[in-house]
């Protein structure tokens, strides 16, 4: 999508990759076919790809589908129902690439917020803020659909079963080794589906639930010698259980809980009283994939993200 432009003498400037759209369209869809309502609560972003050089160089909007129109389209398509967010994004992507010949692709993303029924009530809900579900669809210039699902903000903690020792020591090392510490993190995970599986059809909701559950279970069960190890086990369990997933990336802050020195007050502190620090924090990030999977798939370049 790189386009050459005549620039002032002595410099030739080119417009490289670019996109535009409407971000954070807050959509609440109530399904009320029966008295027992369903709620879908989304935050949707639509960004279009194509040759928009004239808008940049001349302010010519002949190809600029307004971001306002993109917003309207989110609401219009939602009228037909919103199931898995990945499928809703595909509807959006298909619409824009089908409707406007110069739209060669794009990026559509959603956050989903969860709600629980209050006392199993038909139309009263309380928000479950434990985590946010995410999805990104990118349609490439060749029409290939890349789908990355994920979750963010899932905060977990182990009050024991975590050690940290055996690390290299240099003159800047003051950390003491420990065989018992609190391990806590906010899980952000993103997994990319195999294009073949996307083509064949995926039960995205079921996979989401399973991935979430596997990650929680692995975090709980791993006796951890490094947050890297807990992370690896979490990702491995996901890839082993879900052949439809090609690779998974995780970004885990190590939320430090420092044991408070109570000795000076004449008290012991057998791993009971901790100071939960804000900053700085450790930050552990990795990709796990299947052998043979393409490294650095282009979809990742356009995801607010980590290595």
Please state the closest distance from residue 40 (CB atom) to a second copy, in A. 10
Instruction: Determine phi and psi for 98, rounding to 5 degrees.
Output: -85, -30
Q: 29 vs 195, which CB is nearer to a second copy?
A: 29
Among the options 29, 37, 57, 67, which is catalytic?
A: 67
Active site residue 67: yes
Instruction: State how far Cα 287 lies from the chain centre.
Output: 13
Please state the closest distance from residue 196 (CB atom) to a second copy, in A. 16
Please state the closest distance from residue 198 (CB atom) to a second copy, in A. 20
The Cα 156–Cα 213 span in angstroms is: 12
The Cα 234–Cα 229 span in angstroms is: 9
Please state the closest distance from residue 208 (CB atom) to a second copy, in A. 16
Q: 210 vs 229, which CB is nearer to a second copy?
A: 229
Residue owning tokens 């969860």: 114
Quote the tokens at residue 217: 């279970």
Residue owning tokens 């972003």: 45
**DSSP conformation class of 177:** P
Active site residue 49: no
* Closest to 95 in 3D by CA, of 67, 76, 68: 76
**DSSP conformation class of 264:** G
Q: 206 vs 260, which CB is nearer to a second copy?
A: 260
The Cα 193–Cα 198 span in angstroms is: 7
| Rg of the chain in Å (alpha carbons) | 23
Q: 34 vs 200, which CB is nearer to a second copy?
A: 34
Write the CA distances from 134 to 119, 188, 202, 263, 302, integer angstroms.
27, 10, 16, 46, 14
Please state the closest distance from residue 295 (CB atom) to a second copy, in A. 6
Active site residue 73: no
Q: 33 vs 200, which CB is nearer to a second copy?
A: 33
**DSSP conformation class of 148:** E
Q: 199 vs 275, which CB is nearer to a second copy?
A: 275
- Who's near 47: CB < 8 A, 6+ residues apart? 19, 20, 21, 23, 106, 107, 108
Please state the closest distance from residue 304 (CB atom) to a second copy, in A. 5
**DSSP conformation class of 118:** S
Residues that are catalytic: 22, 67, 256
């Amino acid at each position: 999508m790189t386009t050459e432009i005549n620039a002032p003498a002595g410099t030739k400037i080119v417009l490289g990759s670019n996109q535009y759209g409407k971000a954070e369209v807050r959509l609440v869809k109530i399904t009320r076919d029966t008295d027992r309502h369903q709620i879908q609560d989304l935050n949707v972003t639509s960004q279009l790809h194509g040759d928009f050089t004239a808008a940049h160089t001349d302010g010519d909007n002949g190809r600029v589908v307004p971001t306002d129109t993109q917003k309207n389209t989110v609401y219009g398509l939602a009228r037909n129902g919103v199931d898995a967010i990945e499928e809703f994004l595909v509807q959006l992507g298909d619409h824009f690439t089908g409707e406007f010949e110069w739209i060669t692709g794009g990026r559509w993303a959603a956050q989903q917020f969860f709600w629980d029924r209050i006392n199993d009530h038909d139309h009263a809900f309380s928000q479950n803020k434990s985590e946010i579900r995410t999805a990104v669809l990118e349609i490439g210039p060749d029409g290939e659909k890349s789908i990355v699902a994920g979750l963010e903000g899932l905060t977990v903690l182990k009050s024991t079963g975590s050690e940290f020792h055996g690390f290299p020591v240099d003159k800047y090392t003051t950390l003491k080794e420990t065989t018992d510490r609190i391990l806590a993190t906010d899980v952000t995970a993103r997994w990319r589906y195999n294009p073949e599986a996307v083509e064949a059809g995926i039960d995205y909701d079921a996979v989401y639930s399973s991935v979430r559950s596997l990650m929680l279970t692995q975090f709980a069960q791993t006796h951890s010698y490094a947050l890297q190890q807990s992370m690896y086990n979490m990702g491995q369990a996901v890839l082993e259980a879900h052949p439809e997933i090609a690779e998974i990336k995780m970004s885990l802050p190590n939320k430090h809980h420092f044991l408070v020195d109570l000795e000076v007050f004449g008290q012991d502190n057998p791993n009971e009283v901790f100071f939960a620090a804000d900053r700085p924090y450790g930050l552990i990030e990795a990709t796990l994939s299947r052998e043979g999977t393409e490294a650095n798939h282009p979809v990742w370049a356009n995801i607010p993200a980590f290595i």
